[in-house]
């Protein structure tokens, strides 16, 4: 009786875990491929084409962000951004579209970049 009970418990546990094992197996490879693609593309974009973004540096919570007409971008260089808090600036850099983070190359007051 105890032997049958042990076998039944093992089979029940195996049957309960089987769908979870298949679900992980099927979802893991595509997500690894997606991660590989998303990690390689921002690196390529940032190395190829920095862009100028105009707006106002302001604090959002504990972080400095760039408020533009199109929206708000997080700034990765908080030390540079702090110097321009509340000012109109032009930021050169690249945006990581998956995180909304602007990888700052340079920040300058808007008036000096227009001349």
Same domain, 54 and 109: yes
Residue appearing with tokens 């504990």:
62
Q: Does position 37 have pLDDT exceeding 50, yes or no?
A: no
Same domain, 86 and 59: yes
Could you tell me the two tokens for 105? 């190359």
CA–CA dist 15, 37 (Å, integer): 35
pLDDT for res 97: 85
Burial class of residue 32 in the structure, from the number of CB atoms within 10 Å of its CB (0-12 exposed, 13-18 middle, 19+ buried)? exposed
Same domain, 86 and 110: yes
CA of residue 40 relative to chain centroid, distance: 13
Same domain, 39 and 90: no
For residue 27, the enclosing domain spans 1-47
Same domain, 56 and 22: no
Same domain, 81 and 105: yes
pLDDT digits (tens, 9 = 90+) for 42-98: 444 435 589 999 999 999 999 999 999 989 999 999 999 999 999 999 999 999 988
């Amino acid at each position: 009786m105890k032997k049958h009970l042990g076998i039944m418990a093992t089979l029940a546990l195996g049957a309960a875990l089987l769908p979870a094992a298949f679900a992980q197996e099927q979802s893991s490879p595509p997500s690894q491929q997606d991660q590989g693609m998303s990690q390689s593309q921002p690196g390529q974009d940032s190395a190829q084409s920095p862009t100028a973004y105009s707006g106002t540096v302001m604090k959002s919570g504990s972080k400095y962000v760039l408020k533009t007409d199109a929206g708000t971008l997080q700034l990765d260089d908080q030390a540079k951004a702090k110097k321009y808090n509340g000012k109109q600036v032009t930021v050169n850099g690249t945006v990581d579209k998956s995180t909304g983070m602007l990888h700052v190359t340079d920040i300058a007051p808007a008036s000096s970049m227009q001349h």
